[in-house]
Structure 1
Amino acid sequence: MKTDKTTEETKKVWKHHIEAWDAGDLDEIIADYGEDSILILNNTVYKGIEAVRGVFDRLFQIFSNGKNIIDPEVIEGEVIYITWHFTPTNDDTYFGTDSFVVHKSMIKYQTIASLLYEKYPIGS
């Protein structure tokens, strides 16, 4: 069982991450990851800082053109889970989910899933 201290550390990482996301600050987003971090987006694996940076650079481009609503997060121990709804300008709303595993105040693993990325690809 994870301690309350672990959950509090995870909450701090989430707070920083979502503030950086809201600000569109790529460098601050990347500060939450390490060279051994792994991000899996719609079954494509991205490993390391530069790969994660490339994903978020593209995500900021996609999400700059529409309205995004992030539902309240669920945080338990080292795990964060979110659902979100993004409506690109002149398009339908897309539902997505993200899961994060935070270890030693860094995002070690992140998964992202949404049909959004079939129409607005990230690349590899």
Structure 2
Amino acid sequence: MKKAEEILTNHLQALGSGDIDQLMQDYSEESVFITPNGLFKGLMAIQEEFSNLLRAFPPGSTLNILNKLIKDKYMLLMWSGESESLNIPFASDTFIISDDKIIFQSFAGQLIAK
């Protein structure tokens, strides 16, 4: 059984490289992802949302981890970042892990267009 830390590491590596297939390995058909854009349930919907997010925050963007809290199956990631089109002074992701998958994730952040 994977630890939450391993899943988070894979998640961040996949985002950093823009590897949507690797990223989606962390989710299941039952997973839910909530962002300011809406609620996305299932692999197809989550993949589409990540594809949109990666267009605004592609590989080569800067991601700075401000804080990371992990307790059992719960994770909180606070971060800042910058891409060619966005400045993100603060963002937060919360995760719930079950059976080696992210079953719930929420994202919120201050996104400032350049």
**Could you say which residue in structure 1 is the equivalent of 2:13?**
19
The more displaced of 34-43 and 84-93 is 84-93
Tell me if 1:34 matches 2:21: no
Aligned to 2:3: 9
Match of 1:70 among 65, 74, 79: 65
Unaligned runs of 5+ in 2: none
**Percent of aligned pairs with the same amino acid:** 24
Query: Partner letter of residue 44 of structure 1?
Result: G
Alignment CA distance shift 1:86-1:14 (3 Å): same
Structure index of larger Rg? 1
C-alpha contact 2:56 2:86 (8 A) present in aligned 1: no
Write the distance in 1 (CA, Å) between the matches of 2:9 and 2:103.
Answer: 16
- Closer, same or farther in 2 for the Cα pair 1:89/1:102, shift >3 Å? same
Deviation per CA, 1:46-96: give whole Å up to 9, x if none: 110011001111111111274322224211110111111122337644311
Q: For residues 37 and 80 of structure 1, what CA distance do their matches in structure 2 show?
A: 15
Q: Which structure features the higher share of helix residues?
A: 1
- What value does the CA root-mean-square deviation take over the aligned residues? 2.4
More strand by share: 2
Partner of 2:103: 108
Whole-Å Cα distance in 2 between the matches of residues 91 and 55 of structure 1? Answer: 17
State the TM-score, normalized to the length of structure 1: 0.78
